[in-house]
A and B are shown apart, each in its own frame.
Chain A
Amino acid sequence: MGKQVTEMLKGTLEGIVLAILYGRPAYGYEITAWLRDQGFSDIAEGTIYALLIRVEQRGLVDVEKVPSDKGPPRKMYSLNAQGREYLEEFWRNWSFLTERLEQLREGGK
């Protein structure tokens, strides 16, 4: 994964993670694994962990602690009403951004 896409990803990672949680609740490591499968191979587990703590503090996700066979209890994250609202806003901004960029690209031809 190139440096440019890593930089681009930084601003959108929060929206991506919330979008993953829109489908179904997930553990942190499942989210990292999914992103890696999708080709975002440079994603650090720690970065996702820090991001999940942040969205939890901001009340965008609900957390359930589930006991684990190995290691400490795992946090299961699910998107709540506030999170869904935030995600809708993210998609609106995303549409705005991609439309403008597409216009720019067409104009450059």
Chain B
Amino acid sequence: MDTGSNEPKSRYRQYLEVVTGPLEDKKRWRQYKARIRNLPENYRMAVEALERYLMHFGPGDGADAASMYEDLADLFEQSAADGTPIREIFGEDPVEFVEAFVQNYSVGRYINRERNRLTSAIARAAGEDTGKEVRTV
């Protein structure tokens, strides 16, 4: 999918985006929302429930988060077109699916950063000289 033009941004636009965040991301978000609105009722309910869950991970990187929601829209549009039952998309445990899914994007990797931070803090507390700082970002 085309993710926006590569034209240089005007000074005004650059300034504006410092305040608002990139406008491309906002456009992609609106497009995603429009796609979701066109889904059959039960698929839309499922995506909106996922969306609510994903919001808890925080905003993440704008472009990457936009890709995440686009991938979600792809999955549900395909499933709706094929008539794949909701339960076959999610399996027994919806949390398992969403956790595997979110790991692919920066919002999901936020938790990895915290895990690395914990790992190196425990190494320090255990008096281990790991010789290198575990990168946390």
> A residues touching B (Cβ–Cβ < 8 Å)?
29, 42-47, 49-51, 53-54, 57, 68, 70-72, 74
Contact = CB atoms under 8 A, between A and B. Distances in A.
Chain A binding surface, main DSSP class = helix
A49 B89 CA distance: 9
Contact of B101 (A50, A70, A72): A50
Contacts of B101: 46, 49-50, 53
Which has the most chain A C-beta neighbours within 10 Å: B77, B91, B92?
B91
A71 B80 contact: yes
Given A47-B96, A72-B74, A54 B90 contact: no
A53 B78 contact: no
Given A42-B91, A53-B104, 5 more contacts: A46-B90, A50-B100, A50-B103, A70-B81, A71-B78
Interface residues of B, number: 22
A29 B83 CA distance: 12
Contact of A72 (B78, B84, B104): B78
B111 interface: no
B133 interface: no
A68 B97 contact: no
A44 B88 contact: yes
Nearest to B101: A50
A72 B81 CA distance: 9
